[in-house]
Amino acid sequence: MLLKSAAAGLATLLALAAPLASANPTPKGNFSYNDKEFLLNGQPYQIIGGQMDPQRIPKKYWRHRLQMARAMGLNTIFSYIYWNNLEPVPGQWDFRDRNDIAQFFRIAQEEGLHAVLRPGPYICGERDWGGFPAWLSQIPGMKVRENNKPFLDASKKYLDRLGAELRRLQVTNGGPILMTQLENEYGSFDKDKAYLQSLADILRSNFDVFLYTNDGGGKSYLDGGSLHGVLAEVDGDDSKAAFEARDKYVTDKTMLGPLLNGEKYITWIDDWAANSTHHITSGNADAVASVVADLEWVLQNKHSFSIYMFHGGTNFGFENGGIFVNGRLNAVTSSYDYGAPLDESGRPTEVYHKLREMISKYVPKGSIPALPATPDLTEVNEFALFPAVALFDTLPKEPSKKSDQPVTMESLGQSYGFVLYDHTATEDSSGILVAGDVPRDRIIAYVNGKKVGVVDRTYVTPKAVQLTLMKGDVLRLLVENLGRVDFSQPLREQAKGIVGDVKVGDKALSGWSAYSIPLSSLPKDLSGKAAVKDTPVFYTGTFKVKDSAKTDLSGDTFLALPKGVKGQVWVNGVNLGRYWTVGPQQSLYVPGVYVQAHGRDNQVVVLELEPSADVKLTGKGIATRIWGNNPDPDAP
């Protein structure tokens, strides 16, 4: 009886395993380390890596981008995973399209690459709230990145679900994933070892590859972010200095092993501001030489590295985060080009070619494949955009919520986009507008439909907007979430919309209607003709690509709106991201996979937040990207 049951059980297991089998199954492997070296199946393995996050790249381009990584000489891809994209609503999971993480790692393996998993739950990465879903803030007792039961419970559900997707892709199961990062630069935030241990336990229950930590090259960073029994690694622009810091400040032998610069910075991020210029390495001979020399030193000394970013990709839609430093919100641009070796459109740059040449000296001859063919970017002739409907005319008849004081964006069940707050004055008042504790993040104020000012947290001292309200006047405040803080102490509490009372002078205004405007989809009817006034307007237009025999990559272009002030752009229903005249980003990447060919129209929708009846909006597709800055028309 026992033998019969065992046989039946074995048959069941074999049946379950059958879909995973192949004619030539991948043998199981092992990744470990000793004092000086990483070991893949017992043999020394030098990580020549680069960061590439699948959720910033159109799925159809994953293989091309991974081929470009392999063709530069990389052998390992490091990838953050964005929890907020995977679980946009509690308990509702989305592993489709750009969230099909497992498929990304399968393709990486097919292209001869290994992978390092960086799942968070906090990942920084200039993502909205460091990758946390906005709904976390609505859980009672929630304290993120602490030994806090509500946070650990939510994190466990996320990591358990991610483990179910990815555990079969670990090297121990024949997959490409070599190791998993614990948290992310935690020493830059706190030093709660009980939290780190609890999170390590959750990760170990889901992944059997070893864990590592990654922190900046300073004593407080390494003291706070490391954990007994977990390999401590370090990051920074100067690999030698970072490694010296690791060896100096990490003395627990259970944390020691080979040296890895887990984030070798090529340059830095871009943020929206009239005085924030585009960061780039290619074209600067000294900067290129410095990057190449640093990484060559790493290879010569048999250490390991990951380039941050090898390929940055795009913050599509409202996905960008912000860094709060020097008293202002540094709202990250839609482009996450990052001055990377592989630019936002997947084209190799000068630093790519220089690194490829250098790496080829340290790997077996002929092991680096040829560069994949990449067609030139396309151009699109200038086309007109026509005002279709005013944003406020698309609102429902009834508000999302009525209350005495304004409510937050998250309390409306909303994560991104805008909230419109309406108040009808019950008495006369006059003075400076104060919209909650601090601007969160950009507020356009209207009185009786006329724009009266902008309050903007990207300035250390936002503009003081003077208001005069008479009884019966309608005050409207359109509040835009420019991206939740992903780095620095304000990260702990990241409610958007209006938090606190709205005052005019010293008088708090009571009685508000809130309209949720997440723009997760476009208005159904954009066929009208709107009168352009002070309030935001949806514009529409079309363009055709020149090449009737277009392939996906040959349809790539950069969409510029030379007369636009600020807003959002959709092409064929895909939210490409924000534009803002202040720069430094002056065009939006349009992946060719989102573009229709063969003479068909491509539908463009632009939400212009600050339209003018005297300005005719146009768009055009450019093949050579232009970066630059313009004065802010709403500057304090």
Q: How far is CA 75 from CA 208, 338, 356, in A?
A: 21, 21, 12
Cross-sheet strand order for the sheet of 557-560: 380-384, 618-622, 557-560, 588-590
**Token pair belonging to 442:** 């950009």
Q: How far is CA 254 from CA 39, 235, 324, in A?
A: 17, 19, 35
Residue 198's φ and ψ, nearest 5 degrees, are -65, -40
DSSP state letter for 59: G
Q: How far apart are CA 46 and CA 247, in angstroms?
A: 19
Beta strands in 280-379 (DSSP E): 304-311, 322-325, 328-331
Cβ proximity of 105 and 175 under 8 Å: yes
Which of 117, 59, 368 is closest to 262 using CA atoms? 117
Burial class (CB in 10 A: 0-12, 13-18, 19+), 107: buried
The three-state DSSP-derived secondary structure of 242-278 is: HHHHHHHHCCCHHHCCCCEEEEEECCCCCECCCCCCC
Our answer to whether residue 233 is catalytic in this structure is no
DSSP state letter for 196: H
Which of 549, 534, 507, 552 is closest to 609 using CA atoms? 534
Which of 366, 228, 348, 352 is closest to 288 using CA atoms? 352
Q: How far apart are CA 77 and CA 308, in angstroms?
A: 11
**Tokens 């724009």 identify what position?**
451
Considering the candidates 183, 185, 319, 480, report the single residue annotated as catalytic: 185
CA 64 from chain centre, in angstroms, equals 20
Cross-sheet strand order for the sheet of 322-325: 328-331, 322-325, 485-487
Our answer to whether residue 185 is catalytic in this structure is yes
Q: How far apart are CA 281 and CA 297, in angstroms?
A: 19
Ordered DSSP codes for 603-615: EEEEEESS--TT-
Q: How far apart are CA 284 and CA 278, in angstroms?
A: 13
Considering the candidates 37, 87, 233, 263, report the single residue annotated as catalytic: 263
Which of 440, 460, 443 is closest to 452 using CA atoms? 443
Q: How far apart are CA 234 and CA 577, in angstroms?
A: 32
Q: What residues act catalytically? A: 185, 263
